[in-house]
Structure 1
Amino acid sequence: MTSLLAQREIMEIHGRFDPASFLAWIARHATKLGLRNEVAHASQERIELRTEGPEDLLSALEMACLLGPIEVWVDTIERRAVPLEADPSH
């Protein structure tokens, strides 16, 4: 059963990549999946994203990043749940 409840996570991607082009690629995929996405850190070896959406779609974004564009090498992706604040829109 898929969960449609929004979750918030920090997704930390480690590897070797051009952050500008990889972030544009990630943003396109996050938009296609209907996820909220905010960049907290970006360097050639680490990208930290704050993502929000259903768990299954967050997992889909993780898999997409692992398989990502040919010029990107992803070693690991760490995901950490972040509690949603008390917000009546969630």
Structure 2
Amino acid sequence: MTATEFRLTGQLGSSGFADWVCHRARVLDLNGWVKPDGSEAMTIVVSGPEPLVDAMEMACSLGPMDVWVERIDRHARALDSLPNGFHKL
């Protein structure tokens, strides 16, 4: 199974940002997960149609008002399996 991984860095200290990411991914009907790595980094793994994955990247770059995403690194990621739906680790 192929997925896309986003590595976000910036001022991501909002405790609700991971929940916001989950909500956006579910609206876009993407599968995967988000894992906050402290207040300045986050990993998001998504699987779905390419246009919706692109929309997810755009949504993350804009983020909620209390978050400043400085950089998004994106690359393909091979996985054994992905969860059905989207959740926070």
- TM norm. shorter chain > 0.5: yes
TM-score (norm 1): 0.78
Greater C-alpha radius of gyration: 1
8 Å Cα contact 1:7/1:54 also seen in 2: no
In structure 2, list runs of 5 or more residues that go unmatched: 82-89
Matches within 5 A, 1:72-87: 72-83=67-78, 85=80
In structure 1, list runs of 5 or more residues that go unmatched: 1-5
CA deviation digits over 1:8-58, x for unaligned, max 9? 011100110225310000000000000012134421110011111111111
Greater share of residues in helix: 1
Gap change, CA 1:39 and 1:71, over 3 Å in 2: same
Identity %: 33
The alignment status of 1:62 with 2:62, answered yes or no, reads no
